[in-house]
Amino acid sequence: MDIVAQFALMSDAAQLAATGAALWVFAGFAALMERRRAKGRDLDRLEQVGWVPWTGLFMLAAMLGGGCLAMSLPVVIGGL
């Protein structure tokens, strides 16, 4: 059974929890990339500055992931 079919068979709360967890994993990746960009900055090599707004992506993913997890928490804990 593929992943999409398994995801479709999950309850709404479980889907929200899985989506929130995936968003938090992406937020961690964005934070890691922002830290890497900030530490590796060399002013002589301007092509290494980067163009991806990692801080904005981190904030967006963390807030959306937290919202998804908060919405699914009562059902996941209560077992309804």
Domain boundary assignment for the chain: 11-78
What mean pLDDT comes out for the span 3-20?
91
Q: How do residues 27-80 score in pLDDT, each as one tens digit?
A: 999 999 999 888 766 666 655 567 889 999 999 999 999 999 999 988 878 865
Instruction: Give the separation between CA 58 and CA 56, rounded to whole angstroms.
Output: 5
Amino acid 68: pLDDT: 95
Locate tokens 């992406």: which residue? 26
Amino acid 38: pLDDT: 81
Task: Give buried/exposed letters for 6-44 (b at 16+ CB in 10 A, else e).
Answer: eeeeeeebeebbbbbeebbebbeebbebbeeeeeeeeee
Model pTM?
A: 0.81
